[in-house]
Amino acid sequence: MDFFMQLLVNGISLGLLYALSALGFVMIFKSSSVLNLAHGELLAIGAFVFLVLSAWADLPIIIAFSLTLIGTFFLGFLVERLFLRPLIGEKLIEVIMMTLGLGIMFKGLLLFIFGGDIHAYPDFLPEGLSFELGNIFIPSVNVATFVIGILFLIVFGFFFKYSSQGIYMRSVADNQPAALSLGVHVRRVFAMSWAIAFIVAAISGIVLGIINGVNVHSLSAVGLKVFPVVILGGLDSIGGAILGGIIIGLLETFTGGYISTSLREIIPYIVLVIILMVKPYGLFGLVEIERV
Amino acid sequence: MRKLRFHPCGNFKESYDQELSIFDTDFGRLWMIIGLVVLFGVIPFASGTYLLFILNTIGIYAIAALGLNLLIGYTGQISLGHGAFFGVGAYAAAILTTRAGFPFWLSVIAAGVFTAAVGVVFGLPSSRLKHLYLLIATLAGQFILEYVFVTWKTLTGGAEGIILSEARLFGLNLRDDRTFYFIVYVCLVVLMWTMVNLKRTRYGRAFIAIRDNDRAAEGMGIPIFLYKLLSFSISSFYAGVGGALFAYHMMSITPEPFNLWLSIEFIAMIIIGGLGSIPGAIFGTVFIVSLNEVLSHLTEYLMNVGVSTGAAITLAPLKEFVFGLAIVLFIIFEPKGLAEIWRVIRSSFRLWPFSY
């Protein structure tokens, strides 16, 4: 029973990590219906900016953290301006290819600058957050992940539902020409959504970095794990991303614990194919009925 | 003898036959014959072993890239699993020759057919889903197939892979790069000829209709699902044939080369070459394979010069960076790829000196 409980807790904390890293992805998809194949690299960029500021420049954590957020926000603007703005109005396939190219480019650049080693942040989370459940220890990082995830869920839920910017974003994602003709400033919305997505990715990247260490390869691999999570939860649902993340996390740890460790890495993708065949819009995704 | 056709000074096509013709002018036909003579008569005898090896690699990748071009360029369905399908072809050919004792030609064709069947399985989600979802399904296919290559040890040999025995065709030893060159390029020419003509049939036009507007295509009576699957299976067939030739080219296969990176390279090939262009797929392959070679030689050179081995090691990721940069720049500045540049150069020669 202890083994089961341990797996359960591990699964949920892994799942929360997946959920957290899926949030930025959902954010971009929800606001511009772009399937971002560079998401893992965005996580890595955020994590490395924070690494440089906190561990190498030795700034206080709060300052380093806020500088990271500001920096990635403007980086998001820059990337959008340079690479994605020329593609507004182009076919979706080209935008997806662009994110693929950007991802490879960022990965090469990060590897070039930081190498393939694992770096670590200084220890800064307060120990008080951790607690023991029965006889299972839950470290403070996982508690922080959980809190951040819930916070995101609430903030972005309200943002997309009530703020005008959020509604603009949804309209652009739904139908770009219609949004344009109704006077939505599509370029500004695009810029905004990429900038915010960079911030969200940076926060997720930092949390991932605290837990697993900052490494280009592992962070960009997480970008691919995001797909089963968001497909399960529904591509444009933030709550779905969190639930999907937890389900995939549990699935991975239980497969690893009870069946085989090599199957563990692949089980999310098998589930992914099954979901795509059975319930393609996921648990909470917007169902677009189109008989074509 | 009919009148020779030259370039008209405008678009004066009077019938659908003219619209469908492959060669606008008789010069096109002449250039093709010259090209074939150079390809089979001059290049294999003028180039050394190393160059032949590279040329064979180019030919093999070009076959797979042609298939992916059909899927992405003509049908508008993105696949991130082409590298794994290429691997399926390689493993199918290797297993069929070593275990079942198939002859070379039969194993290549069987590998193609088998890969087409595997492709259909991963193409099935496209029945209800648009390209976004198909992309994700093929990504899953990539990982699942990689996993199968590594873990199904009794069949694939696991991480050690399979070593192929010596293959013969018409009594010729295929281990010789020059002999193999002829086989690869005969396959490439035949498959390219098929592809050019496929584009002119109702199937090819249906694929393009699906790419341009799937709802309109459905409205015109094209059974979209079947055609998507057909496109998927033809594309996988090309990947399988390419993979089978790759297995014979390398003489031993391991799961390692058939990873996601290979799929990305294939996509890079056809984006850089030009989506929806058959010469483009070839140009793109030449570009990517040469880029790979140049970059790996550059790193090797820097290592040997010994400026500092550290610098050479950090240069290795530059390869990825250059790849990504090439894709990004081509999408922004020349979305139609090298094929468009080639067309511009050609027509500037043709129109000289009165390019109006």
The verdict on residue A48 lying in a domain is yes
- Give me A39's structure tokens: 């998401």
Distance in angstroms (rounded) separating the CA atoms of residues A161 and A239: 13
Nearest Cα of chain B lies from the Cα of A153 at a distance, in angstroms, of: 24
DSSP string, A113-181: HH-S--B-PPP-S-GGG-EEETTEEE-HHHHHHHHHHHHHHHHHHHHHHHSHHHHHHHHHHH-HHHHHH
Q: Number of H helices and number of E strands within chain B?
A: 16, 4
Name the residue of chain A whose CA is nearest to B217's CA.
A292
Question: Nearest-CA distance from B224 to chain A in Å?
Answer: 7
Question: How many A×B Cβ pairs under 8 Å?
Answer: 134
Q: Which residue has the tokens 């393939």?
A: A116
B contacts of A108 (beta carbons < 8 Å) = 317-324
- What amino acid is encoded at B303 in this protein? M
Decide if A291 is inside a domain: no
Q: Torsion-angle region of residue B161: left (phi > 0), alpha (psi -120 to 50) or beta?
A: left
Q: Is residue A287 part of a domain?
A: no
Q: Which token pair is A37?
A: 């194949």
Task: Mark yes or no for CB contact A97/B327 under 8 Å.
Answer: yes
Query: Is A283 domain-assigned?
Result: no
Q: What is the mean pLDDT of chain A?
A: 81
Please name the residue of chain B whose CA is at the shortest distance from the CA of residue A276: B125
Q: Which residues contact A246 (CB under 8 A, 6 or more apart)?
A: A11, A12, A15, A16, A18, A19
Task: Find out whether B269 and B281 touch, Cβ atoms under 8 Å.
Answer: yes
pLDDT reading at A105 higher than 70: yes
User: Which structure tokens are listed for B63?
Assistant: 């076959």
Per DSSP bridges, beta strands A136-138 and A131-133 are antiparallel
Contact A108 B322 (CB under 8 A): yes
* A chain contacts of residue B312, beta-carbon cutoff 8 Å: none
Closest residue to A276, CB basis, from B133, B271, B275: B133
A-chain residues near B151 (CB < 8 A): 262
User: A23, A1, A18, A6: which is closest to A237 by C-alpha?
Assistant: A23
Tell if the CB–CB gap between B131 and A93 is shorter than 8 Å.
Answer: yes
Q: Name the residue with higher pLDDT: A214 or A1.
A: A214
Task: Tell me the three state secondary structure of residue B163.
Answer: strand
Is residue A92 assigned to a domain? yes
For B147, the closest of A83, A110, A266 (CB atoms) is A266
Residues of A in contact with B334 (CB under 8 A): none
Residues B297, A193: Cα–Cα separation, whole Å: 41
| CA pseudo-torsion sign B128, B131, B136, B141 | positive
pLDDT for B113 equals: 92
Residue B241 CA to residue B93 CA, distance in Å, equals 9
Domains in chain A, number: 1
Mean pLDDT by runs of 10 across the 356 residues of chain B is 64 73 74 83 80 89 91 85 90 85 83 90 73 78 86 76 71 74 88 88 89 84 87 91 88 83 87 85 89 81 64 67 85 84 81 68
Interchain CB contact of A259 with B (< 8 Å): no
Contacts of A83 in chain B (CB under 8 A): 328, 332
User: Is pLDDT above 60 for A291?
Assistant: no
Side chain identity at residue B61, one-letter code: Y
Are the C-beta atoms of A169 and A193 separated by less than 8 Å?
Answer: yes
User: From A226, which residue of chain B is nearest by alpha-carbon distance?
Assistant: B136
Q: Is A88 on the interface with B (CB under 8 A)?
A: no
- Give the integer Cα–Cα distance in Å for A83 and B329: 9
Among candidates B133, B224, B321 on the partner chain, residue whose Cβ is nearest the Cβ of A280: B133
Q: What percent of chain A is modeled with pLDDT above 70? A: 91
According to DSSP, the β-strands at B172-173 and B168-169 are antiparallel
Check if the beta carbon of residue A239 is closer than 8 Å to that of residue A153: yes
Separation between Cα atoms, residue A125 and residue B223, nearest integer Å: 58
**Shortest CA gap B41–chain A (Å):** 38
For residue A102, the distance in angstroms to the closest alpha carbon of chain B comes to 6
Q: What is the pLDDT of residues B85-101, one digit of tens each?
A: 999 999 888 888 887 77
Contacts of B137 in chain A (CB under 8 A): 272-273, 276
Please tell me the distance from the alpha carbon of residue B258 to that of residue B244, in angstroms, as a whole number: 13
Residue A181 forms part of a structural domain: yes
Nearest to B71 by CA among B20, B138, B155, B16: B138
Q: If we measure between CA atoms, which residue out of B356, B330, B334 comes closest to residue B343?
A: B334
Q: What is the pLDDT of residue A286?
A: 66
| Residue of A172 and B285 predicted with greater confidence | B285
Q: How far is B5 from chain A (nearest CA, A)?
A: 37
Taking CA atoms, A37 is separated from A96, A149, A237, B48, B50, in Å, by: 7, 22, 18, 41, 36
Please tell me whether residue A214 adopts helix, strand or coil conformation: strand
Cis-peptide, bond into residue B353, ω within 30° of zero: yes
Q: DSSP of A26-64, one letter per residue? A: HHHHHHH----TTHHHHHHHHHHHHHIIIIIS---HHHH
**What chain B residue is nearest to A282 in terms of C-alpha separation?**
B133
Is residue A196 within 8 A of residue A163, CB to CB? The reply is no
**DSSP state for residue B164 in the 8-state scheme:** P
Residue matched to tokens 């922080």:
A144
CA distance B281 to B266: 9
pLDDT of res. A292: 46
The pLDDT, as a whole number, for residue B151 is: 82
- Counting beta carbons within 10 angstroms of the beta carbon of residue A58, is it exposed (0 to 12), middle (13 to 18) or buried (19 or more)? exposed
Instruction: Look at A100 and B264 and tell me if their CB atoms are within 8 Å.
Output: yes
Residues in chain B within 8 Å Cβ distance of A291: 218
Quote the ipTM score: 0.81
Give the C-alpha separation, B355 to A280, whole Å: 53
Position A212 in a domain: yes
As given in the structure block, the two tokens for residue B122 are 């991963």
| Pairwise CB contact (< 8 Å): A276 & B267 | no
Higher pLDDT: A176 or B198? It is: B198
More confident residue, A90 or B53: B53
Asked if B332 and A83 come within 8 Å (Cβ–Cβ), the reply is yes
A98:B151 CB<8 A: no
CB distance A72 to A259 below 8 Å: no
Rg of chain B over CA atoms, in angstroms? 21
Average pLDDT over residues A100-121: 84
B105/A282: higher pLDDT: B105
Does A104 reach chain B within 8 Å, measured CB to CB? yes
Half-sphere exposure of A111 (CA within 13 A, CB side): 23
Mean pLDDT in residue range A275-289: 71
Least confident piece of the model among A154-168, A270-284, B200-214, B327-341 = A270-284
What confidence score (pLDDT) does residue B235 get?
A: 92
Partners of A111 on chain B (C-beta within 8 Å) are: 316-317, 320
CA distance linking residue B258 with residue B274, whole number of Å: 23
Quote the CA–CA distance of B330 and B126 in Å, as a whole number: 28
With CA atoms as reference, report the closest residue to A121 among A172, A184, A51, A168.
A51
Structural domain harbouring A162:
19-120+129-223
With CB atoms and an 8 Å threshold, state whether B125 touches A102: no
Mean pLDDT of A133-154: 75
Domains and CATH numbers, chain B: 40-351 (1.10.3470)
* pLDDT tens per residue across span A191-239: 888 888 888 888 888 888 887 778 888 888 888 888 888 888 877 777 7
Distance CA B259, CA B91 (A): 14
Please report whether residue A174 resides in a domain: yes
pLDDT at B127: 67
